[in-house]
């Protein structure tokens, strides 16, 4: 793990929170993610399972967490199973958790080797009446590969057909969407690393640099500070601004163009999400600045609108109303278009075609129920944009906020966003 050690209080608290939601005599199991193959004998870098990390702090492959709060023996109420280290593994793969390491990271006293899991699991299933099983229930997930959790579900149903099966994902979603103070500390670290990377690019960008060179500058800053890219970086110059998920990052940044960067750092598996659009030459032209400031006003209005008790869909509609007003002022849409618009397809969609924002945390598009009102501790991205392919550019701005009883707090308030400030830094 690249990040500094995390207080296991975070994971201890999270386990207590989910245990409080479980039914009596129920057992829960959460598996690590698979190590995915490439070609020949290659593998991809494993992405830690967010749910397993949330409950245990464990990022190692082939790990399993089992929770059984009503187990007859106290030692069996929390058990962590990890891969047993060996000299062979040490030579070929390096460090693997010892039992003591796993205890220290997770705060779980009962740590067993993975080889012990089948026998212990069978014994405790005989005590339980139901089992919580986990799966990816994100609404827009496109899961084409059978995961470790799904294979585990099949095995359980085959071996224990008479148990009651319950879904763990809704409980985890309920908890994960509201961040604790300890989680916010890690998110703020990811934001801070992101801020330093962005400031570095402001000093670096000029006509003639390539999009991938900008990406490299960001990578250097993130890695140096124990972070990594939270998602595949978007570094888009000129007309590439208008491609929402542009990933090629292979073009030269030219004089007079805008450079859109949707790039942020992850730290300790908690993700920031930042977008800024800057002038390659260090100065916006009049038209660019006018549209830039329109997007900025929508962003700020949307930040203020993210209040406790509001539904995501209502927040989005408010933002679309603000965007309609700005586009009308810019001459991009007409009053008649607003008057005749379909409520589900507002006039602004022509130039602002994506969502306003999403929950943020252990996943960039983090879990949460859009039908549940914002609660204190909800972390959201706010990312309005205006894209004008006919003029050869688009502008998107994005900040991360936390909803509180006293109003939203912008976690990125110290990252430059005013057009004049960006120009000033670029021209020092």
CATH assignment of the domain containing 328? 3.90.230.10
Q: Does 128 reside within a domain?
A: yes
Domain with residue 119: its CATH number is 3.40.350.10
Based on the structure, what is the number of domains in the chain?
Answer: 2
409 burial level (CB within 10 Å; 0-12, 13-18, 19+): middle
Q: Are residues 145 and 259 in the same domain?
A: no
Return the axis-axis angle of helices 419-426 and 286-305, rounded to nearest 10°.
120
Q: Are residues 186 and 159 in the same domain?
A: no
Domain end among 153, 175, 197: 175
**Structural domain of 92:** 9-175
Q: Are residues 163 and 191 in the same domain?
A: no
Q: Does 219 reside within a domain?
A: yes
Q: Are residues 294 and 357 in the same domain?
A: yes
Q: Are residues 23 and 118 in the same domain?
A: yes
Which residue, among 65, 163, 55, has the nearest Cα to 112 in the 3D structure? 65
Domain end among 140, 175, 210: 175
Instruction: Bin 25: left if φ > 0, else alpha if -120 < ψ < 50, else beta.
Output: left
**Are the C-beta atoms of residues 360 and 264 closer than 8 Å to each other?**
no
Q: Are residues 128 and 188 in the same domain?
A: no
Q: State residue 88's pLDDT score.
A: 83
Q: Are residues 266 and 161 in the same domain?
A: no
Distance CA(383)–CA(229), nearest Å, equals: 18
Q: Are residues 160 and 49 in the same domain?
A: yes
Helix (H, G, I), strand (E, B) or coil at 277: strand
Q: Does 372 reside within a domain?
A: yes
pLDDT, one tens digit per residue, over 388-425 is 999 999 999 999 999 999 999 999 999 999 999 999 99
Which residue, among 205, 200, 213, 204, has the nearest Cα to 258 in the 3D structure? 205
Q: Does 13 reside within a domain?
A: yes
Q: Are residues 329 and 410 in the same domain?
A: yes
Q: State residue 37's pLDDT score.
A: 86
**Residue ranges, the chain, pLDDT below 70:** none
Q: Does 159 reside within a domain?
A: yes
Please tell me what DSSP assigns to residue 210. Answer: B
Helix (H, G, I), strand (E, B) or coil at 273: coil
Q: Does 381 reside within a domain?
A: yes
Q: Does 274 reside within a domain?
A: yes
Domain end among 144, 175, 206: 175
Identify the residue whose tokens are 């000029």: 206
Distance CA(57)–CA(80), nearest Å, equals: 11
Q: Are residues 368 and 284 in the same domain?
A: yes
Residues 6+ apart with CB under 8 A from 347: 324, 327, 333, 337, 338, 341
**Are the C-beta atoms of residues 262 and 275 closer than 8 Å to each other?**
yes
Q: Are residues 165 and 303 in the same domain?
A: no
**Are the C-beta atoms of residues 402 and 408 closer than 8 Å to each other?**
yes
Q: Does 403 reside within a domain?
A: yes
Q: Are residues 350 and 274 in the same domain?
A: yes
Distance CA(379)–CA(299), nearest Å, equals: 15
Distance CA(164)–CA(158), nearest Å, equals: 13
Q: State residue 191's pLDDT score.
A: 98
**Residues forming beta bridges with residue 221, ordered by sequence position:** none
């Amino acid at each position: 793990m690249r990040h500094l050690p995390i207080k296991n209080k975070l994971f201890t608290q999270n386990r207590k929170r989910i245990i409080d939601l479980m039914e009596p005599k129920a057992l829960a199991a959460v598996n690590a993610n698979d190590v995915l193959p490439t070609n020949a004998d290659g593998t991809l870098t494993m992405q830690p399972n967010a749910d397993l990390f949330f409950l245990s702090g464990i990022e190692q492959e082939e790990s399993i967490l089992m929770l059984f709060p009503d187990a007859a023996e106290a030692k069996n109420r929390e058990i962590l199973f990890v891969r047993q280290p060996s000299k062979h593994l040490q030579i070929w793969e390096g460090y693997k958790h010892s039992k003591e390491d796993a205890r220290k990271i997770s705060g779980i006293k009962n740590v067993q080797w993975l080889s012990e899991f089948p026998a212990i699991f069978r014994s405790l299933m005989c005590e339980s009446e139901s089992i919580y099983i986990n799966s990816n229930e994100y609404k827009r997930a496109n899961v084409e590969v059978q995961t470790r959790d799904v294979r585990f579900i099949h095995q359980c149903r085959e071996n224990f057909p008479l148990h009651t099966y319950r879904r763990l994902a809704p409980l985890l979603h309920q908890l994960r969407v509201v961040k604790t103070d300890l989680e916010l500390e890690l998110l703020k670290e990811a934001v801070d690393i992101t801020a330093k990377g962005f400031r570095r690019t402001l000093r670096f960008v000029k006509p003639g640099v390539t999009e991938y060179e900008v990406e490299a500058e960001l990578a250097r800053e993130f890695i140096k500070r124990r972070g990594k890219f939270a998602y595949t970086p978007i570094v888009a110059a000129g007309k590439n601004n208008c491609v929402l998920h542009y990933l090629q990052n292979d073009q030269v940044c030219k004089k007079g163009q805008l450079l859109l960067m949707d790039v942020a750092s992850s730290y300790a598996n908690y993700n920031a999400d930042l977008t800024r659009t800057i002038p390659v030459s260090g100065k916006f032209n009049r038209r660019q600045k006018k549209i830039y400031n329109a997007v900025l006003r929508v962003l700020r209005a949307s930040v203020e609108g993210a209040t406790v008790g509001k539904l995501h869909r209502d927040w989005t509609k408010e933002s679309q109303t603000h965007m309609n007003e700005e586009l009308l002022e810019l001459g991009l849409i007409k009053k008649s278009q607003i008057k005749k618009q379909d409520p589900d397809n507002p006039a602004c969609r022509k130039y602002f075609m994506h969502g306003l924002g999403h929950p943020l945390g252990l996943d960039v598009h983090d879990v949460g129920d859009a039908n549940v009102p914002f609660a204190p501790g909800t972390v959201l991205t706010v990312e309005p944009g205006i894209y004008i392919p006919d003029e050869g550019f688009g502008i998107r701005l994005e900040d991360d906020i936390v909803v509180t009883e006293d109003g939203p707090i912008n976690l990125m308030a110290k990252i430059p966003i005013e057009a004049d400030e960006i120009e000033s830094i670029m021209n020092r």
